[in-house]
């Protein structure tokens, strides 16, 4: 069996059985899910007004009154009454909370009477009654006009140069989802690279490094660890995305959200293409840190500072929404550690020019290769320095010296 | 064919010359001792042998050629700075390390359980490593080193942390491995263990090989200048005796290098009025030879 696979399997099974991983992967989404379900139940338990209608002129189409229940959240129920006295009696016995009396001449301009038990009308009830009249009045219109009246407007604002557009109904499908998925990708990179830092530093702390590297090559060791931890992060990511999809599906089915959910394949594809080199870049940095330090805690402190370079787009997200074409945003798009998240953020408001994405990808790939190269050198230097920090000066000196000595390799 | 041949290797780290022109061979069926004071270059030499470090000059042959990944599976190494995964169960750690040496799970388990029983660790196999005592961890590391039945076993201070009972078990195991034709390189400061176990040794000091050869021959080489005599008589006037020292009724005679001890014995026995009850050519212990060589600092091949 390949040594890389053995190390990857060991790393994956070892970390995936830890309490912290199980809690972060399954526990957190479960807690969030329970919280969301609780909110839906609370919403469902809120009593909606039951409205009575007295229609003297028989204008109302009973078929349009009560639509089939599609949502977990209860809808307003309408009851038709033959005369005003039976309607008022129902209001008094709290069978209904509002009574509408349509005059014989309706829809003429003769006033419509509204009765409520306490003489007040909530905003929710006003909206509901408005929707009731709109539905009933539009029933005789042609389908297209009827839909326009019933669904209201759908505004799409476009910039003059066509680079920005914002559609009211596309909020979830084209704006939030790429951002959320980009964020999930980013999160998995940060998480797996942080696991990697821990894994390398732990090998040093446990003093298992020397035995391991006499069994396999440093490359196999690092590759196995990286792949195992990447698989771990992807497992987490898949579970989270699965949970998110399930939640969106449940919310959609329950009627809690009404927007269509569709993914933009090209944007997701580009984010996926950025994923591996971003991971390699972060992994290289974390391996180098893990190999240089004496304790995990020390490594985590350095990693926290390095992580700022990765989460900088998150901290400047306000600018990404308000001024996505600012020089800072373009710079962060091109800068390897910030490119992926910045692109995801800017996509929420603009179409990013192709040259920026291509250049950003090239920079990212080059820096990822450089990061891996440096990390392999630092790993070789630092792996056996138990209890000693690897000084930066030694790293630079060795890297320089190696370049000179490469022609003198002993057979 | 030698199991390992080290030819004139040198290695420096910056301005520090860690290993300077060291050569030795390790043969099948022998325990080879690697001795030297702290910081002498023993660990660096072992790391070069294991291909962890590349030498600046010189070559290393293992199993008749350069080191490769396949040969790594024929080597068991117990480093001086050793440890196991503390948060994992003992059995899991040992199976993982065995898998990296090419053993499949089934075969590894088949070998592991008797080994654990041999070192009284079977009952503790499901405990986390951090829950084991230091001595138990040491025994576990020895199992990890030998579970894949390596042909070349390299042990750096194998007896540290072991009680006398387990020391005896490890010694018996090493002798058993030697009898099975395995080569063992043992780096230690415990000279009594070297004397008891090693066939040949190399003494490294300040990166240089100071002394190299068979233990018996080395001891013989460093003996012969002092003779222990029990009995009575006047020995001071015998030609060739440089110094006479009496201690607890025993007489230590330091003789000149050109005086044959056999001739001295003959002379003593035939001396009028002398009575000899015990005659022994005194030899230095390895400890004394170690100190003597380190202080003299002149490389010697025996």
The sign one gets for the Cα dihedral A409, A411, B4, B7 is negative
Q: How many domains does chain A have?
A: 2
Q: Could you tell me if A373 and A330 lie in one domain?
A: yes
Q: How far apart are the CA of A285 and the nearest CA of chain B, in angstroms?
A: 23
Asked if the Cβ–Cβ distance from A410 to B58 is below 8 Å, we say: yes
B144 touches chain A (CB under 8 A): yes
The answer to whether residues A256 and A205 belong to one domain is: yes
- Collect all residues of chain A within an 8 Å Cβ-Cβ radius of residue B54: 409-410
Interface test with A, best of B83, B85, B94, B155 (most A CBs within 10 A): B83
On whether both A286 and A327 belong to a single domain, the answer is yes
Domain membership of residue A18 (yes or no) is no
Contact B56 A410 (CB under 8 A): yes
Helices A218-254, A177-206: axis angle to 10 degrees equals: 150
Q: Which residues of A touch B73 (CB under 8 A)?
A: 215
Is the per-residue pLDDT at B302 higher than 70?
A: no
pLDDT of residue A337: 92
Each residue of A317-335: pLDDT tens digit? 888 878 888 999 999 999 9
- Does A99 share its domain with A209? no
pLDDT average, residue stretch B32-50:
90
Task: Output the pLDDT for position A410.
Answer: 35
* Residue A259 located in a structural domain: yes
Report, as an integer, the average pLDDT of B23-42.
92
* Domain that includes residue A229, residue range: 170-408
Calculate how close chain A gets to B79, using CA atoms only, in Å. Answer: 7
Q: What is the pLDDT of residues A104-150, one digit of tens each?
A: 888 887 888 899 887 888 887 888 888 888 888 888 888 888 888 77
Across the interface, of A206, A210, A215, the residue whose CB is closest to B84 is: A206
Domain stop point among A145, A161, A190: A145
The whole-number pLDDT of residue B78 equals 92
Mean pLDDT score across all residues of chain B: 87
Domain match, A257 and A385 both: yes
* Per-residue confidence band for B23, with pLDDT thresholds at 50, 70 and 90: very high
Quick check: B21 contacting A, CB < 8 Å?
no
Q: Does A220 lie in the same domain as A123?
A: no
Q: A109: number of CA atoms within 13 Å, CB side?
A: 0
* Domains and their CATH numbers in chain B: 1-74+150-223+283-302 (3.40.50.300), 84-146 (no CATH), 224-282 (3.30.70)
- Residue A11 maps to a domain: no
Residue A411: per-residue pLDDT: 32
Which of A14, A207, A211 minimises the CB distance to B77? A211
Q: Do A212 and B100 touch (CB under 8 A)?
A: yes
Answer whether B82 sits within 8 Å of A211, measured CB to CB: yes
Closest-CA residue of B relative to A405 is B56
Smallest CA–CA separation between B115 and chain A, in Å? 19
Least CA distance to B57: which residue of chain A?
A: A410
Tell whether A40 is covered by a domain: no
Q: Does B83 touch chain A if contact means CB atoms closer than 8 Å?
A: yes
The secondary structure of chain A in percent helix, strand, coil, rounded to multiples of 5, reads 70, 5, 25
B72 touches A at CB < 8 Å? yes
pLDDT in the model for residue A291: 83
CATH number at residue A116: 3.40.190.10
**Given CB atoms, is B88 within the 8 Å cutoff of chain A?**
yes
Q: What pLDDT was estimated at residue A70? A: 58
Under the banding of pLDDT at 50, 70 and 90, the label for residue B95 is very high
**B295 has pLDDT over 90:** no
Residues of chain A with C-beta less than 8 angstroms from the C-beta of B72: 214-216
Q: Which residue of B has its CA nearest to A208?
A: B83
By Cβ distance, the residue of A14, A214, A410 closest to B75 is: A214
The answer to whether residue A303 sits within a structural domain is yes
Q: From residue A50, give the alpha-carbon distance in Å to each of A79, A122, B66, B125.
A: 8, 13, 89, 69
- In a shared domain, residues A122 and A243: no
HEC-encoded secondary structure of chain B? CCCEEEEEEEEEECCEEEEEEEEEEECCCCEEEEECCCCCCHHHHHHHHCCCCCCCEEEEEECCECCCHHHHCCEEEECCCCCCCCCCEHHHHHHHHHHHCCCCHHHHHHHHHHHHHHCCCHHHCCCEHHHCCHHHHHHHHHHHHHCCCCCEEEEECCCCCCCHHHHHHHHHHHHHHHHCCCEEEEECCCHHHHHHHCCEEEEEECCEEEEEEEHHHHHHHCCCCEEEEEEECCCCCCCCEEEEEEECCEEEEEECCCCCHHHHHHHHHCCCCCEEEEEEEECCCHHHHHHHHHHHCCCEEC
pLDDT of B30 reads 95
Is there a contact between A7 and B54 if contact means CB atoms under 8 Å apart? no
| Contacts of residue A302, Cβ cutoff 8 Å, sequence gap at least 6 | A289, A293
Q: Which residues of A touch B57 (CB under 8 A)?
A: 410
Q: Chains A and B: how many Cβ contacts under 8 Å?
A: 62
Domain annotation covers residue A28: no
* Substitution target from B12, B49, B52, B92 for chain A, most A beta carbons within 10 A: B52
Q: Does residue B54 belong to the interface with chain A, where contact is any CB pair within 8 Å? A: yes
Are A82 and A175 found together in one domain?
no
Residues A192 and A268 placed together within one structural domain of the fold: yes
pLDDT, tens digit, for every residue of A335-362? 999 998 898 888 877 888 889 999 999 9
Residue B49 pLDDT class (50, 70, 90 cuts): very high
**A215 contacts in chain B (CB < 8 Å):** 72-73, 97, 100-101
Question: In this complex, is the C-beta atom of B8 within 8 Å of any C-beta atom belonging to chain A?
Answer: no
- Mutate one of A15, A198, A206 to test the B interface: name it (highest B CB count within 10 A): A206
Nearest CA in chain B to A11: B96
Identify residues of A whose CB sits under 8 angstroms from chain B CBs: 1, 3, 6-7, 10, 14, 202, 206-208, 210-217, 384, 386, 409-411
Q: Which of A211-225, B49-63, B267-281, B285-299 has the lowest mean pLDDT?
A: B285-299
What are the structure tokens assigned to B58, written together? Answer: 């010189």
Q: Which residues of A touch B86 (CB under 8 A)?
A: 206
A330 and A270 in a common domain: yes
Contacts of A217 in chain B (CB under 8 A): 69
Rg (CA), chain B: 24
Nearest CA of chain B to the CA of A362: how many Å?
Answer: 35
Record: contact B54-A410, CB cut-off 8 A: yes
Domain boundary among A110, A145, A180: A145
Please indicate, yes or no, if residue A88 is contained in any of the structural domains: yes
In a domain, A161, yes or no: no
Once rounded to an integer, what is the mean pLDDT over residues B166-189? 92
Q: Which of A214, A397, A404 to mutate to test the interface with B (most CBs of B within 10 A)?
A: A214
Q: Looking at residue A407, what is its pLDDT?
A: 36
- Give the per-residue pLDDT at A404: 39
pLDDT of residue A409: 33
Q: Averaged over B103-127, what is the pLDDT?
A: 92
Q: Which of B71, B81, B150 to mutate to test the interface with A (most CBs of A within 10 A)?
A: B81
What's this model's pTM, rounded to 2 decimal places?
0.72
pLDDT means over runs of 10, chain A (411 residues)? 87 87 84 81 71 87 71 75 89 88 84 86 83 84 82 70 61 63 76 82 83 85 86 85 80 62 70 86 87 81 87 84 88 93 83 91 93 83 71 69 41 32
> Above 80 in pLDDT, residue B48?
yes
Q: Could you tell me if A189 and A129 lie in one domain?
A: no
Structure tokens at B270: 């035939």
Selected for mutation to probe chain B from A3, A394, A410, A411 (highest B CB count within 10 Å) is A410
The answer on A252 and A109 residing in a single domain is: no
Nearest to B100 among A207, A216, A386 (CB): A216
Q: Which residues of A touch B101 (CB under 8 A)?
A: 215
Dihedral sign from CA coordinates of A409, A411, B5, B8: negative
């Amino acid at each position: 069996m390949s040594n890389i696979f053995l190390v990857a399997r060991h790393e994956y099974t070892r970390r995936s059985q830890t309490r912290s991983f199980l809690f972060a992967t399954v526990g957190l989404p479960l807690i969030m899910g329970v919280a969301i379900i609780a909110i839906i139940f609370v919403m469902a338990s809120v009593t909606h007004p039951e409205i009575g209608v007295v229609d003297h002129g028989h204008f109302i189409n009973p078929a349009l009154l009560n639509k089939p229940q599609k949502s977990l959240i209860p809808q307003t129920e309408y009851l038709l009454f033959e005369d005003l006295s039976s309607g008022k009696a129902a209001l008094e016995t709290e069978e209904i909370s509002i009574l509408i009396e349509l005059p014989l001449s309706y829809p003429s301009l003769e006033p419509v009477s509204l009765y409520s038990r306490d003489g007040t009308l909530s905003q929710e009830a006003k909206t509901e009654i408005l929707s009731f009249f709109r539905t009933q009045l539009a029933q005789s219109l042609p389908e297209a006009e009827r839909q326009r009246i019933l669904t209201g407007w759908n505004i799409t604002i476009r910039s003059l140069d066509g680079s920005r557009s914002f559609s009211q109904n596309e909020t979830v499908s084209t704006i939030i989802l790429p951002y959320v998925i980009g964020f999930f990708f980013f999160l998995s990179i940060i998480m797996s690279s942080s696991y990697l830092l821990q894994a390398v530093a732990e090998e040093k702390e446990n003093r298992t490094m020397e035995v391991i590297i006499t069994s396999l090559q440093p490359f196999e060791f690092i590759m196995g660890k990286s792949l195992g931890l990447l698989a771990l992060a992807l497992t987490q990511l898949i579970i989270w995305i699965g949970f998110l999809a399930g939640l969106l599906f449940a919310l959609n089915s329950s009627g809690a959200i009404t927007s269509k959910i569709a993914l933009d394949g090209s944007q997701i594809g580009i984010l996926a293409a950025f994923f591996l080199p971003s991971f390699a870049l972060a992994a290289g940095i974390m391996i180098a840190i893990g190999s240089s330090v004496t304790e995990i805690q020390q490594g985590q402190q350095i990693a926290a500072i390095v992580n700022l370079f990765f989460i900088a787009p998150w901290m400047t997200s306000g600018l990404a929404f308000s001024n996505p074409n600012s020089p800072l945003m373009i710079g962060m798009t091109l800068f390897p550690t910030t490119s992926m998240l910045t692109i995801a953020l800017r996509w929420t408001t603009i179409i990013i020019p192709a040259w920026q994405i291509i250049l950003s990808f090239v920079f990212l790939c080059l820096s990822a290769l450089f990061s891996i190269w440096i990390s392999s050198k630092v790993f070789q230097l630092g792996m056996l320095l138990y209890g000693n920090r690897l000084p930066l000066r030694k790293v630079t000196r060795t890297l320089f010296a190696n370049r000179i000595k490469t022609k003198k390799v002993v057979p | 064919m030698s199991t390992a041949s080290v030819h004139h290797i040198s290695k420096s780290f910056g301005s520090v010359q860690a290993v300077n022109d060291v050569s030795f061979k390790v043969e099948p069926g022998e325990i080879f001792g690697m001795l030297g004071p702290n910081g002498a270059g023993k660990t660096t030499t072992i790391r070069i042998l294991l291909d962890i470090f590349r030498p600046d000059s010189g070559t290393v042959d293992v199993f008749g050629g350069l080191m490769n990944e396949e040969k790594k599976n024929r080597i068991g190494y117990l480093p001086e700075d050793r440890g196991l995964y503390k948060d994992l169960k003992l059995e899991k750690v040992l199976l993982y390390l065995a898998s990296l040496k090419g053993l499949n799970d089934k075969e590894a388990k088949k070998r592991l359980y008797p080994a654990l029983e041999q070192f009284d660790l079977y009952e503790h196999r499901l405990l986390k490593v951090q829950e084991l005592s230091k001595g138990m961890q040491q025994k576990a590391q020895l199992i990890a080193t030998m579970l894949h039945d390596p042909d070349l076993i390299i042990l750096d201070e194998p007896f540290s942390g072991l009680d006398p009972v387990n020391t005896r078990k490890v010694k018996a195991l090493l002798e058993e491995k030697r009898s099975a034709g395995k080569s063992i390189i043992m780096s230690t400061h415990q000279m009594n263990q070297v004397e008891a176990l090693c066939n040949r040794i190399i003494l490294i000091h300040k990166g240089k090989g100071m002394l190299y050869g068979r233990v018996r021959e080395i001891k013989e080489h460093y003996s012969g200048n002092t003779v222990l005599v029990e009995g009575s008589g006047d020995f001071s006037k015998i030609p060739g005796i440089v110094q006479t020292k009496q201690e607890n009724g025993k007489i230590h005679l330091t003789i000149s290098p050109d005086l044959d001890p056999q001739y001295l014995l003959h002379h003593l026995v035939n001396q009028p009025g002398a009575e000899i009850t015990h005659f022994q050519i005194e030899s230095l212990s390895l400890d004394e030879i170690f100190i003597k060589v380190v202080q003299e600092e002149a490389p010697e091949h025996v």
